[in-house]
Structure 1
Amino acid sequence: MELVNIKTVYDMCKKIIIITELQEYFKIDDYPKFAKIVKELVANGTLSEVKSSKLNGMDPPLYNKYRVNQNEEDLKHLEEEIIYNFPLEFGRDFYLKNLKKYETDREYIISLGDYFRNNKNELYIPMSMNERSFSIWGIEKFLKDGNGQNILKNLGLSLEGLNVYTTPEPFVYFSSRKEKNQKVLIIENKDTWYTIRKLMIDGQSAFLGESIDTIIYGSGKNIEKALEEYEYTVEPYLLNPLSVLYWGDIDYEGIGIYERLKKRYSEVFDIKIFDNAYIAMINLAEGRVLPVYSDKQNKNIDSIFLEEMGSFKERILKLLQAGLYIPQEIINYRILKEE
């Protein structure tokens, strides 16, 4: 390799270097010679190509920008910082073994450490996840959508240790009868919920052969968390309902929602499928061109739903294996309305 002091790359005190600045800094007018040095610096790990910066159009081509990778020796001071500056509550093992990762997460860890040192009393006061996140980092969704939970895990901390509570989306419900011993129907999709509400307002109380007192809008998977707040959301007459029926699309997502609800809340509610609705959907779909479900759907379902569908199990399996699904909206206002 040409006699160029690699330390001068670090002496530029930049994380990202523009290639023309680097050539000027090295004072090498011979471009092929300069390009060879840059490629060697990439090969030995000193520099990394910033491929989004695109090539410079010269021969041989170089990228317009390069990232300076920290010299391992230059990271040694971070070991002392981890050992001596971390609060006692912070685990040290992960970051001592991953100093470059610590360098990436450092500013967030420092903010968290400052919070533990200077605002520890606030940890005794519960906050929502976004409230706590903003209190610590000034970024309200850092715990929920950002890297916050990974950093906690790396430090051996937990959300429980931050004394946060979740805030599931509140669910919307409509009751035609406000008395105890309710028959509740959870409806996955908005259009079907509004259609049944419209019919309830007009005085109808039975749908597809089933008497229904209250309908809850499930909003897809949101209902899975929202039911945690059931007793704090509903009026007293809805506490301890007689039964809870579920009705959604016949696809992996809809089936998965029902099965997870059943597993999670079976000790609280008597949850069953609205089998009359599902049977009607299957019969109406016979001979029709059906939509294809998204490849992104989680296909990890159990046998709970299929077993409850009894003799219709094979027809549903055949449908799913063909990549098709039956939307809830196949049952429309005309079908739901009592003659």
Structure 2
Amino acid sequence: MARKLTDAERMNLDYLREALCQVLEPSQKNKAASVASSLVRVRGDVVTDEDIQRIVGKYGKGAQVALTAAILAEALDPVEGQEGVYTLRVPPQVEDAGEKNEGLADATGMSAESEPAPAVAEPPEAAPTEDDAATANEPAAAAAPAPANAPEPESPAQPESPAQPASPAQPESPAQPEAPAQPAPPARAEKPGRSSAPRTQRGRLRRVGKGSPSHPTQLSEVPYVRRGGPAETEVRAKILELDQRFWMNGWLLSHPGAYTLFERQLTAINDALVNGALPGDITRRQLAYQMGGDEKFFEYGSDGHKLLRAMGMEDVIRHRPMPKPDLLYHAPRRRKHMRVLVTENLDPWLDVHDLMYEEGRTTILGERIHAVVLGGGTPILEHNRLALLLDTLGADSVEVLYWGDIDRAGIDIMVRLRDVLGERYPFAPFTPAYQLMIDKAQDRYPDPADNEQTCQVNLGMPDMSLMCEGLTEEAAAYARSVVEGCRLIPQEILTRRDL
């Protein structure tokens, strides 16, 4: 049976799971929690290459490569001077909170109001001095400014207890029975004392995340604000300027920090709504790329997806679920000679499908297309599945055009697919789409290194000659720089309007 995790380990697990989800493909995101749990449970203070192989070894070969790359990129930091040895990359707040209470207070962003525990524990010492001064019955002592007078009333106060008949202050000695009734203040002082004990410390640790309540770094850290101050009022005023669908259910108004954290994305969605682009000819992935260059911002489980759900706007932006049928394709009619376009991702496939089915288009970007197939990435290479599908079309000859992402994985799939099909099916890249993708990327990012980063460092540099056939020299050089730098130009950079 797996051991029970501590609170700090649970926070580390959540942090690592979210970090892995940011870089894993949608089909691999369901493995992030299990991998993060295994990393946290590794014995000792370090993780080795053997530990990584043991953790990813239970998955398929394709998943092992992606998971290993994600772990090395997002979950581990190498130990200097020790090859193959790493430490977990965890929030520094958690480590500080586990060391001492001062670090805990800093990590949680506690104010001075929440730190009076040691100060409240001191009143029991001050209370007896006040009582002794009262029982001494010396008003002159209270008026004496010199500190030397303070011990003088205390010295007679000590003989007064044994010499009860001699002192005239004896009538006030009945007030001393009230002194035993004063254990109440010490009882109150014990509560703050217990508040610094590990039990409360563990309670506070649960609230420590990757950021702080005042500076959240992800949606789960955004606090609920009932009223707030002038800053929240100003943010709420900006929220009310958005389309009413953003704040109609009240969630965004009660979480103004979410607007501050995702102001750029919310403003971009609002602009699309105002311009009439949503719902319509743009999908979540296409909009996400236009907003910030990350086409997977709205993927299931991401902060973008959670944000839409919290605001009740899941149906406002069109979502295209991944279909389950094997090698989904569309061929309006059978012909003797056919040109089949194979797309790597879903959104471009649906765009071409809609143009062919709804508008009766037979040309896409100036190229005649008779059928479109959803390749889905690596699975299309298994068991020669594409060739089996092409055989069912019954055409005398079939020419295959391939269109995918411009990154190491996308180019590698294209080259391998050409080798799998062999000479039976003429094969070529869908050059007009690649040229347009590069042109739009150059307009957006003149420097190729500014394109979206990938975690494909473990994939070797693929042969770019096939994809670069027909491209301009400038476009080919730009594409090579993108792929060499482990960057990405996704298919979603093109929308239905571009086709």
TM tier relative to shorter chain: 0.3 to 0.5
Greater fraction helix: 2
Q: TM-score, structure 1 length as denominator? A: 0.46
Q: TM-score, structure 2 length as denominator? A: 0.32
Higher alpha-carbon Rg:
2
